[in-house]
Amino acid sequence: MPGLKITLLQQPLVWMDGPANLRHFDRQLEEITGRDIIVLPEMFTTGFAMEAAQQSLSQDNVVTWMQTKARQTNALIAGSAALQTDAGAVNRFLLVEPDGKVHHYDKRHLFRMADEHHHYKAGTERVVFEWRGWRILPQVCYDLRFPVWSRNRDDYDLALYVANWPAPRSLHWQSLLVARAIENLAYVAGCNRVGTDGNGHHYRGDSRIVTPQGEILATAEPHQATRIDAELSLTALKEYREKFPAWQDADGFTLE
């Protein structure tokens, strides 16, 4: 069964400057080859700004750039951006294949402590798609706190979280990534930013990749602009699910 080579780019973001952020990630991506997935942080073109959708790059510009990078790296390029759509402003997680195909997920849980729910429209659709033999669930930052939304219904193998998760609550970020992996019997990867944003919020990063058993497969040094790599095993995942089939005893539920 296919392995999956994943890279997380834990990086600082230039506040509200899309072209500068794309140039920065141009440089980072030049050095990356032979990967299946490359993950950028939440709102990687602007930082976590409430006015970003009205002042940031258009969806066409962001998608075109991601398509170019996906083709150059022969990898799925993933990251969220603040975008203005016909339905309103959204925090949209874009995942772009080398052939140009675009998957997207709009952040469901909007961070009310920053008034995100007053500036962006909440997503309504839980998304799972397949890439190179793996079923992937994309999620964004605050979604991590709500386990029902990410509940594995035996329909995904890897959950991807992108974030601008502030340093004072880093313990929550680290703990919940492990919890989501254990309870869903799935790999979990969380890519967070570092640095200080335009509102003075500081970010440690603490990006990491977690096994279904809750073990840390790879982790980034806090406060450092860096990348982490790991190779995930679908064979090991299936063997663990067969050996420890807790999913068979899960409670049924419906989402409204």
Q: What are the residue ranges spanned by the domains of the chain?
A: 3-247
Q: CA–CA separation, 218 vs 215, rounded Å?
A: 9
Catalytic site residue from 69, 107, 116, 191: 107
- 205-241 pLDDT, tens per residue? 999 999 999 999 999 999 999 999 999 999 999 999 9
107 is catalytic: yes
pTM of the model: 0.97
Closest by Cα among 96, 175, 93, 88 to 126: 93
Tell me the fold of 3-247: Nitrilase/N-carbamoyl-D-aminoacid amidohydrolase (3.60.110)
Task: Locate the DSSP E strands across the chain.
Answer: 3-10, 37-39, 76-85, 88-96, 102-106, 129-131, 134-140, 158-163, 187-192, 195-196, 202-203, 208-210, 216-219, 226-233
- 102-157 pLDDT, tens per residue? 999 999 999 999 999 999 999 999 999 999 999 999 999 999 999 999 999 999 99
The predicted pLDDT at position 255 comes to 79
CB atoms within 10 A of CB 226: 14
101 is catalytic: no
31 is catalytic: no
CA angle 26, 17, 11 (to 5 degrees): 50
Q: Letter for the amino acid at 33? A: T
CA angle 58, 64, 67 (to 5 degrees): 140
Question: Which residue is listed with tokens 């075109």?
Answer: 64
Catalytic site residue from 42, 97, 116, 191: 42
Catalytic site residue from 69, 97, 116, 141: 141
The predicted pLDDT at position 1 comes to 67
Q: CA–CA separation, 242 vs 246, rounded Å?
A: 9
- 50-100 pLDDT, tens per residue? 999 888 899 999 999 999 999 999 999 999 999 999 989 999 999 999 999
CA angle 250, 254, 256 (to 5 degrees): 150
Question: Which residue is listed with tokens 């950028």?
Answer: 40
* CA torsion, ordered 56, 59, 64, 67, to nearest 10 deg: 110
> What are the structure tokens assigned to 72, written together?
């150059």
